[in-house]
A and B are shown apart, each in its own frame.
Chain A
């Protein structure tokens, strides 16, 4: 079992980020939300390992929500 990777792991990150935005282009908020939900499920299935998924859920939940940011 491998731990969750939280170090940079994506080759050419700017290209990936552009792909992510492109996938959402022209979608309504509802369509975008649905796409994100499908994406989460597809990626979660690819990971498969429940322990890694648990760590990913925790890492996402622990990241501070915006309203707590000291802007």
Chain B
């Protein structure tokens, strides 16, 4: 059985900060060493920002928790130096089956779009994601980067002092004070930082309980996602079976609202449930059992002066659609480059407000999708159950009803339509999927993939077009990536970036979202787009 989550990865050690006469000031303190906190810290460290991560624990998350990582977060993790090992370890699947009562009503093939380095998603236990991120932290430390993870460090007080944040941190050897120019709170849905600051977290509570069980079994279930509505082994409720690496299977059973949580978690209750589902003869071992309820809610604003919230601390969704960790990694991706520019005085403080605009937009999209999935999976009124069952009955016979079946809409990246950072969309005939605000879709080139070439800085992507090697505007440098459709072996670059246009010049942000696009290089227009994308000019 896999016990990676029982090994301390960043055990408590005494920090020199604990000896200091006056509180030591750090550039950035991240609270929470989950996937989002670690990703934010690595992103900043890669850009040369000094960062300290505090976590009250000293090991990766207990149990598999988030298990489905989507393409865009994998691309982000690749930019952070660990996407490929996650894909190598993760389980890829394309086939899903939907069951209703005792029959299979249909199956679907995700038919992932070609021409991407990363798959649509992989199943991978959160503890592996955290482990790989911690390895990456160690690599960066070996290269001399100023990044540190302090286990056994629990924040007990926080105060925004206008030009910095002050923290009190409890450790096994007593409390100490520390300061940060900027504090990033990634301390989870129950965020103690949010509570200490008295900030609200408003939304909808779903009155339901779900039993999550990770079982290790040698079973010949195929690598598919199976979802049951109202199955005989869990009457009136739903069930999910999903494969993870190491022969671990995720089983998710809806239990309803009025249950005794402690009793339901006990093996003598769980094992008969699982046998009813898997069959009496299947041999399995329980790795992890948990019961969860969930909410769909978010903070009114994610940025509060010098304290910025990201991930579940800022927004919480239902698990359907895998939008929690995936959304949080996009928060980190959105925040790191902005914070770096503001810290260096190369962009106004207002650039950080665009983090609120863009990631609240993203959170609302995730909350909307996951609330709708929840309404379908767990109908709360007689009428909603009537329609849900009608959709499932029809789906068995008629293709038209299958798109209405909602067992979770898997995370896709958010296009920041209407963002204050968006510049002109001045490419007649350009594809809608690469309009300003959109995340850049990958494309194979003659010698590798596009996204790797975009890196983590502003880029002038010139396709069949002239552009200078660099464009500098007030200290912000955009480097050119010149491509021609002769570099385009499968035509994906043309389809995704040119459409009906013959040539294009794109301004791409450090988080690989499109800032603006034009038919040709025009220095004045691109300088203005660069000012808009860094919050120096309002579009």
Q: Which single member of A41, A42, A45 contacts B387 (CB below 8 Å)?
A: A41
| B386 x A33 contact (CB < 8 A) | yes
Q: Does A34 contact B (CB under 8 A)?
A: yes
| B386 x A41 contact (CB < 8 A) | no
| B401 x A45 contact (CB < 8 A) | yes
Q: Does B389 contact A (CB under 8 A)?
A: yes
| B389 x A41 contact (CB < 8 A) | no
Contact with B along A33-62 (1 / 0, CB 8 A): 110011011100100000000000000000
Which chain B residues (374-425) contact chain A, with CB distance < 8 Å?
386-387, 389-391, 393-394, 398, 400-401, 404
Give the shortest distance, in Å, between A51 (CB) and chain B (any CB): 19
With the chains together, A50 CA to B78 CA distance in Å?
40
With the chains together, A42 CA to B387 CA distance in Å?
12
Give the shortest distance, in Å, between B398 (CB) and chain A (any CB): 8
Q: Which single member of A33, A38, A45 contacts B393 (CB below 8 Å)?
A: A38
Residue numbers in A under 8 Å from B394 (CB-CB): 38, 41-42
With the chains together, A25 CA to B207 CA distance in Å?
38
Which chain B residues (93-136) contact chain A, with CB distance < 8 Å?
none
Number of residues of chain A lying within 8 A (CB) of chain B: 8
Residue numbers in B under 8 Å from A38 (CB-CB): 390, 393-394
Number of residues of chain B lying within 8 A (CB) of chain A: 11
Which chain A residues (8-40) contact chain B, with CB distance < 8 Å?
33-34, 37-38, 40
Give the shortest distance, in Å, between A56 (CB) and chain B (any CB): 15
With the chains together, A42 CA to B404 CA distance in Å?
12
With the chains together, A17 CA to B96 CA distance in Å?
41
Contact with A along B297-308 (1 / 0, CB 8 A): 000000000000
Give the shortest distance, in Å, between A29 (CB) and chain B (any CB): 11
| A37 x B390 contact (CB < 8 A) | yes
Q: Which single member of B386, B398, B404 contacts A34 (CB below 8 Å)?
A: B386
With the chains together, A45 CA to B391 CA distance in Å?
11
With the chains together, A23 CA to B398 CA distance in Å?
19
When C-beta atoms are compared, the residue in chain A nearest to B395 turns out to be A41
With the chains together, A42 CA to B398 CA distance in Å?
9
When C-beta atoms are compared, the residue in chain A nearest to B404 turns out to be A41
Residue numbers in A under 8 Å from B401 (CB-CB): 41, 45
Give the shortest distance, in Å, between B536 (CB) and chain A (any CB): 40
Give the shortest distance, in Å, between B375 (CB) and chain A (any CB): 15
Residue numbers in A under 8 Å from B400 (CB-CB): 42, 45
Residue numbers in B under 8 Å from A42 (CB-CB): 394, 398, 400
Residue numbers in A under 8 Å from B389 (CB-CB): 34, 37
Residue numbers in B under 8 Å from A33 (CB-CB): 386
When C-beta atoms are compared, the residue in chain B nearest to A38 turns out to be B390
| B386 x A37 contact (CB < 8 A) | yes
Give the shortest distance, in Å, between A39 (CB) and chain B (any CB): 9
Give the shortest distance, in Å, between A12 (CB) and chain B (any CB): 27
With the chains together, A19 CA to B252 CA distance in Å?
44
Residue numbers in A under 8 Å from B390 (CB-CB): 34, 37-38, 40-41
Residue numbers in A under 8 Å from B393 (CB-CB): 34, 38
Give the shortest distance, in Å, between A10 (CB) and chain B (any CB): 22
With the chains together, A38 CA to B389 CA distance in Å?
9
When C-beta atoms are compared, the residue in chain A nearest to B403 turns out to be A45
Residues of A bordering B, CB below 8 Å:
33-34, 37-38, 40-42, 45
The contact sample of 25 A-B pairs, CB cut-off 8 A, is: A33-B386, A34-B386, A34-B389, A34-B390, A34-B393, A37-B386, A37-B387, A37-B389, A37-B390, A38-B390, A38-B393, A38-B394, A40-B387, A40-B390, A41-B387, A41-B390, A41-B391, A41-B394, A41-B401, A41-B404, A42-B394, A42-B398, A42-B400, A45-B400, A45-B401
Residues of B bordering A, CB below 8 Å:
386-387, 389-391, 393-394, 398, 400-401, 404
Query: What 6 new A-B contacts, CB under 8 Å, besides A33-B386, A34-B386?
Result: A38-B390, A41-B387, A41-B390, A41-B394, A42-B400, A45-B400
